[in-house]
Amino acid sequence: MGACWDVGETTHLDKISRISLCFPSIYAAAIDYELDPAHPTFHRMVIVGGRGWTIYELPDDPDSLLKLVFDSGNDMERDCCEKFPWAYNAVVDEEFAPTESMPNHTLWTWDDGIREDLLEKNDPEGDGCLDQGDGTPGACPMKDTMDAESDSSGAQIEHIEAGVVCGRLFSVVASEKTSVAWLYDITNLASPDLVKTFHLSPASENKSPGLAYNDGTIGEIDPENFIFLSKEESPSAKPGILFAGSYSGTLSFWEFECVEDDDDESMTTSSQEQDNTSSGVQAIGAATTFSTTVWALGMMMAASVLST
């Protein structure tokens, strides 16, 4: 399932006054709740499809057709295959949580209905692996599920958000079961620039979720929600993005470093990684000290491994 977001007024852009960001689903519906929330007006259903994300220009007349501004096509799958081949169309979800044989098996204790699935995913004679990352049998690391979703969900885009950072308009797109995220500079809506691709759970390459959770390296599995924080909202006084992992029950904070350009007084971002600089926006980097603090908080808040 997917959705569209009305980004709202974009007065710093030349021609497009309102934009909508969409990610894949069978459809996205335009329903107006503003005039009468009890009796909303259904305007249009848009068939989206695909495995990427799209920018549409919203018409002044809600009954008019949306105007396609940009579509990512198969960029997400190609980029993931290049940068994180072990996560290409892979899958890790709540069914990969540990059984009672491992600490922090709350999902096993809490939900009787999922036990059969957990046993299947943790059994090497079923869908499990002989080595879950420490030489013992259990749920498979993500690298051992590579290509599993190529014939169905593909890149599995889960969520998208847009925000203004350092004077530029960005979007972040994240996949559900592979935990890959893409940062785009969309200041030029017709030609978004991919600034950075990063994995929110790099430990998943070689560890089952249970192992990674118990040693504190799991990161975020199923980044179902994330938000941009301005420097005024940010606890580190720097703009950033707060990610929440639905299945992992964890949080991480990634921050931008805004640097003023003396030549044109524009704002750019910089970090430890100086790659993908074609747009003039260099990269996003993890706020090491703060992410450690938030990580500890996320571990205490999590009710279970891979709980929803």
Say whether both 298 and 155 belong to one domain: yes
Say whether both 66 and 162 belong to one domain: no
Mean pLDDT comparison of 69-83, 149-163, 267-281, highest-scoring range: 69-83
Say whether both 234 and 280 belong to one domain: yes
For residues 229-257, average pLDDT: 88
Q: How many domains does the chain have?
A: 2
Nearest Cα neighbor of 249 from 292, 210, 213, 298 is: 298
Distances (CA, A) of 72 to 154, 190, 212, 224, 235: 14, 11, 32, 20, 33
Say whether both 65 and 103 belong to one domain: no
Query: pLDDT (tens digit, 9 = 90+) per residue, 175-188?
Result: 988 999 999 999 99
Q: Which of 73, 97, 120 is the last residue of a domain?
A: 73
- Percent pLDDT > 90 in the chain is 35
Query: pLDDT (tens digit, 9 = 90+) per residue, 260-299?
Result: 654 433 333 333 333 333 333 334 554 433 333 333 333 3
What domain range is 241 assigned to? 74-308
For every residue of 152-221, DSSP letters joined together read: TTTT-EEEEEEEEETTEEEEEEEESSS-EEEEEE-SSTTS-EEEEEEES-GGGGTS-HHHHHHTT----S
| Average pLDDT score over the chain | 76
Say whether both 126 and 223 belong to one domain: yes
Say whether both 245 and 152 belong to one domain: yes
Q: Which of 73, 97, 129 is the last residue of a domain?
A: 73
Query: pLDDT (tens digit, 9 = 90+) per residue, 190-199?
Result: 999 999 999 9
Say whether both 37 and 84 belong to one domain: no
For position 209, what pLDDT does the model report?
A: 92
Say whether both 118 and 264 belong to one domain: yes
Pinpoint the alpha helices (H) of the chain: 75-83, 106-110, 115-122, 209-214, 288-301
Say whether both 289 and 202 belong to one domain: yes
Least confident residue range of 2-6, 76-80, 96-100, 255-259: 2-6
Say whether both 23 and 172 belong to one domain: no
d(CA 61, CA 119): 53
Say whether both 270 and 128 belong to one domain: yes
Q: Which of 44, 73, 102 is the last residue of a domain?
A: 73
Tokens of 2: 């997917």
Say whether both 162 and 221 belong to one domain: yes
